[in-house]
Amino acid sequence: MASWSPQNAESSLPDTVAAIDLGSNSFHMIVARIASGDLQVIDRLKEMVRLGEGLTADKFLRPEVADRALACLERFGQRLRGMPPGSVRAVGTNTLRQVRPESRFLEQAELALGHSIDVIAGREEARIIYLGVANGLAAGDERRLVVDIGGGSTELIVGEGVTPRLRESLHMGCVCMSRQQLADGKITAKRMDQAELTGALEIRPVRELFRRSGWKNAVGSSGTVKSIAAVVEAQGWSTDGISADSLDELRDALIGFGNSEAIDLKGLTEERKPVFAGGVAVLRSVFATLGVEHMQVSDEALREGLIYEMMGRIRHEDVRERTVSALCQRFGVDEDHADRIKATALTLFGQVAQPWNLMNPDYPSMLGWAARLHEVGLVIGHSQYQKHGAYLLRNADLSGFTRQEQSVLAALVLGHRRKFPIQEFLALAKPMRDSSRYLCVILRLAVLMHRGRSPTTKPYPMVDPDGMRLVLRFPDDWLSHHPQTQLELEQEAERLLAADFRLEFG
């Protein structure tokens, strides 16, 4: 049986891709064609779901809001029908970061959409937003500030060209600010002052960092900023974006209306009205705190950034690879030893991928990264270093990785030696539970075969998988001349029984 390899998947990558942004205020989807390295958007869908307003104090979603979101995802899923895995990237942001796993909403959402959904950390969201904004701007390497106001969070990024240098995610957005400071829709000067002060306090811990970062131009992205720009331009208060003076005019106008339902401004849609004043307060706090005088507006943001990220991965420009390399250098990993383990693990993987149905093109990458990082915890101490490494990978800011991917990496590193941590794998998202256990078995065997840390190449065993039974066949008499390896395999067979694997060898 021919072995599967990532190269087999790359030759069939689709030329049409889709990106979905499941925000706290609205859900967005774009479908794009990649032609000659360029992105051509062929379809856009947007629905105002207001997921954030359905988040309860105990971090569950109110049933009516969850139903509204799932109905939207079913409609998105109809548009995506027929698109293969790997051609669609869907991410959840602030509200989905907070929803309790016990709610099972994420599983229901993936079923409705028909594709997996990645929950990304705030600073990872900031990185991808910047990628979208920077690729949509005219060429130039000037240092710029990018501000993206969502429903539940605001991302601040300073970067040059397409490279972010400084990024932060703040827990304030148009939905949560409206809920906290303008809950009944009434808009007064006192309430707006309080909302803007709340925003300034949220920015305060990073204020000086961003003020001193040397940015020259400010760019805003996403619905709140675009809506504000549409209003101030339609009223004649500003041209080519948003000025600080135009925000003053807008604030006065909102106070004059007195209530969100009474707002009557050209350029503002009905569905935006309930959270518009909260969004204005957030943007005014950014202007005042960071010293912004004028802001350009970008048509591209997170969803476009996801497409550019997918294009980069297709061209082998995966930021996750750079992240892993940086971690190896930072924590003094023995990279020669790690690379030998990676090579062995991928050789074993090639023999079991089809029988174990490990056909996702990301699996060999995840296995390779886990092999390279399996000793990252040694920088803290040798005793229980697998636990130290798992903690680092679960909690570090790893550019390019989703929260689910970090959890898988952490589980693989934790499980590469000693007791098999079956509960760690059962705690993973359902689609990754079984496949991650298989990957961990492969990693454990690769690490075992290089226990002596010798640079001498060892013979790769033939692997015969049969369900949860795994038979290793070494060259004739090789094991009899390597009694330590044989003893280690006997011990490993005992440990794998806890994970319902039967390991046999000869």
pLDDT in tens, 57-82: 999 999 999 999 999 999 999 999 98
Report the CATH number at residue 221. Answer: 3.30.420.150
- Residue 312 domain flag: no
| DSSP code, position 37 | T
Same domain, 254 and 291: yes
**What are the tens digits of pLDDT across the range 205-214?**
999 999 999 9
Does residue 309 lie in a domain region? no
Query: Of all residues in the chain, what percent are helix, strand and coil, respectively (each to 5)?
Result: 55, 15, 30
Q: Are residues 41 and 107 in the same domain?
A: yes
Residue with tokens 């256990």: 437
- Which of 158, 199, 150 lies closest to 28, judged by CA? 150
Region 257-275: mean pLDDT is 95
Q: Of 11-20, 154-163, 399-408, 494-503, which gets the smallest average pLDDT? A: 11-20
CA-to-CA distance for 53 and 179, rounded, in angstroms? 7
Domain boundary among 97, 119, 141: 119
Instruction: Please report whether residue 21 resides in a domain.
Output: yes
Do 63 and 108 lie in one domain? The reply is: yes
- Average pLDDT on 360-377 reads 94
Total number of domains in the chain: 3
DSSP result, 356-403: TT---TTHHHHHHHHHHHTTGGGGT-STTHHHHHHHHHHHS--TT--H
Band (pLDDT 50/70/90 cuts) for residue 140 is low
- Both 461 and 338 in one domain: the answer is yes
Calpha distance 143→149 (Å, rounded): 20
Asked if residue 454 belongs to a domain, the reply is yes
- Provide the pLDDT for residue 456: 78
Task: In whole angstroms, give the CA distance from residue 293 to residue 44.
Answer: 32
Domain termination residue (choose one: 84, 119, 154): 119
- Coil/strand/helix, residue 463: strand
pLDDT band at 8 (very low <50, low <70, confident <90, very high): very low
Q: Are residues 10 and 104 in the same domain?
A: yes
The type of residue at 238 is: S
Return the structure tokens found at 87: 């051609």
Token readout for 386 is: 């697998």
* Residue 327 sits in the same domain as residue 462: yes
Tell whether 306 is covered by a domain. no
- Is 435 a member of any domain? yes
Same-domain status, 137 and 268 = yes
- Quick one: which of 301, 305, 311 has its CA closest to 34? 311
* Helix, coil or strand: residue 296: strand
Same domain flag for 440 and 391: yes
Verify that 114 and 204 share a domain, yes or no. no
CA dihedral 83, 135, 330, 154 (to 10 degrees): -90
Regarding whether 201 and 234 lie in a shared domain, the answer is yes
Range of the domain at 282: 123-299
N-term to C-term CA, the chain:
21
Pairing type for strands 88-92 and 38-47 reads unpaired
Check pLDDT > 70 for residue 435: yes
Of 299, 327, 356, the position where a domain reaches its end is 299
Look up residue 295 and give its amino acid: M
For residue 360, tell me if it sits in a domain: yes
Residue 324 has pLDDT above 90, yes or no: yes
CATH, residue 51: 3.30.420.40
pLDDT for residue 458 is more than 80: no
Give the single-character DSSP code of 457: P
Average pLDDT over residues 359-381: 94
Is 446 in the same domain as 458? Answer: yes
Tell whether the model's pLDDT for residue 315 goes beyond 80. Answer: no
Radius of gyration of the chain (CA): 26
- pLDDT at residue 138, rounded to an integer: 59
Do 294 and 228 contact (CB within 8 A), yes or no? no
Q: At what angle do helices 335-352 and 430-449 cross, to 10 degrees?
A: 120
Q: Residue 342: is it exposed, middle or buried by C-beta count within 10 angstroms (0-12/13-18/19+)?
A: buried
Q: What pLDDT band is residue 4 in, cutting at 50, 70 and 90? A: very low
Calculate the average pLDDT of the chain.
91
Tell me, what's the pLDDT at 37? 63
pLDDT in tens, 84-117: 877 899 999 999 999 998 999 999 999 999 999 9
Question: Could you tell me if residue 115 is inside a domain?
Answer: yes
- What pLDDT, on a 0 to 100 scale, did the predictor assign at position 6? 39
Same domain, 99 and 127: no
Q: What is the CATH number of the domain that holds 350?
A: 1.10.3210.10
pLDDT class of 35 with cuts at 50, 70, 90: confident
